[in-house]
Chains A and B, each alone.
Chain A
Amino acid sequence: GENVEQHPSTLSVQEGDSAVIKCTYSDSASNYFPWYKQELGKRPQLIIDIRSNVGEKKDQRIAVTLNKTAKHFSLHITETQPEDSAVYFCAAKYNFNKFYFGSGTKLNVKP
Chain B
Amino acid sequence: EADIYQTPRYLVIGTGKKITLECSQTMGHDKMYWYQQDPGMELHLIHYSYGVNSTEKGDLSSESTVSRIRTEHFPLTLESARPSHTSQYLCASSEGPTQGGVNYGYTFGSGTRLTVV
A101 to B90, CA, bound (A): 13
Give A residues with C-beta under 8 Å from B. 1, 31-32, 34, 36, 38, 40-46, 49, 51, 87, 89, 91, 93, 96-104, 106
Give B residues with C-beta under 8 Å from A. 31, 33, 39-43, 45, 48, 50, 59, 90, 94, 96-97, 102-103, 105-111
Task: Tell me the smallest distance from the CB of A82 to a CB of chain B, in Å.
Answer: 17
CB neighbours of B41 from chain A (8 A): 103-104
CB neighbours of A40 from chain B (8 A): 40
Can you report 17 residue pairs joining A to B where beta carbons are below 8 Å apart? A32-B105, A34-B106, A42-B110, A43-B109, A43-B110, A44-B90, A46-B105, A51-B102, A51-B103, A91-B105, A97-B94, A99-B45, A99-B106, A102-B42, A103-B41, A104-B41, A104-B42
CB neighbours of A93 from chain B (8 A): 103
CB neighbours of B43 from chain A (8 A): 44, 89, 101
